[in-house]
Amino acid sequence: MKLIVGLGNPGREYSGNRHNIGFLCLGHLAKLHRISFEKSQARSRIGIGRITGEEVVLARPQTYMNASGKSVFLLLQRYNLTLEDLVVIHDDLDLPLGKIRIRKGSSSGGHKGAVSIISTLGSQDFIRLRVGIGRPLGEGETRDDNVVGHVLGDFTSEEQPVVEETIHRVSEAVACLLTGGLEAAMNKFN
């Protein structure tokens, strides 16, 4: 069994935010494989099913991004899983919109959700699938307040086609991870 966690913030006001790309990817993955988020467990909305023959728990933590580690820890305990069984999908400012990166054991890169998970689990030795949302454009746009506005802003209509294609590719990458392993997925999607 694998635990696949998509990071985001709960609530309608955040649903289209760049920061919620993990939730969006997980929603698409669930729809493709007819898995519904019908249970609340371990401070998460979860769905249980199979993807490419592998039993999976799909989870959307409901703790808000900065406290995602609590949910992930509880889910790993609940299903008696290890870090080897964990895949986390989240946004990444340092990747251009539409790019994805799969890595195991990488640092948080400053991502608050990843920081929470790494801190709570005491390890960064799990697979992360980072989805590029790009940095805000323009000079002087790297200040914290501009970055917060960017990640908590919705995707624009111009960005939507790229986002939809990226979400589809993330589902393919997860399937590849489950069937071919980390190296195969990295070689094909990085």
Is residue 151 helix, strand or coil? helix
Is residue 175 helix, strand or coil? helix
User: Which of 78, 89, 67, 9 lies closest to 39 in space, CA to CA?
Assistant: 78
Q: What DSSP state is assigned to residue 106?
A: -
Q: Which amino acid type is present at position 68?
A: S
Residue of 19, 90, 111, 150 marked catalytic: 19
Dihedral angle of Cα 188, 105, 151, 110, to the nearest 10 degrees: -140
User: Euclidean distance between the first and final Cα of the chain, in Å?
Assistant: 24
State yes or no: is 19 an active-site residue. yes
Q: What does the alpha-carbon distance between residue 73 and residue 59 come to, in Å, rounded to a whole number?
A: 12
Point out the residues that are catalytic.
Answer: 19
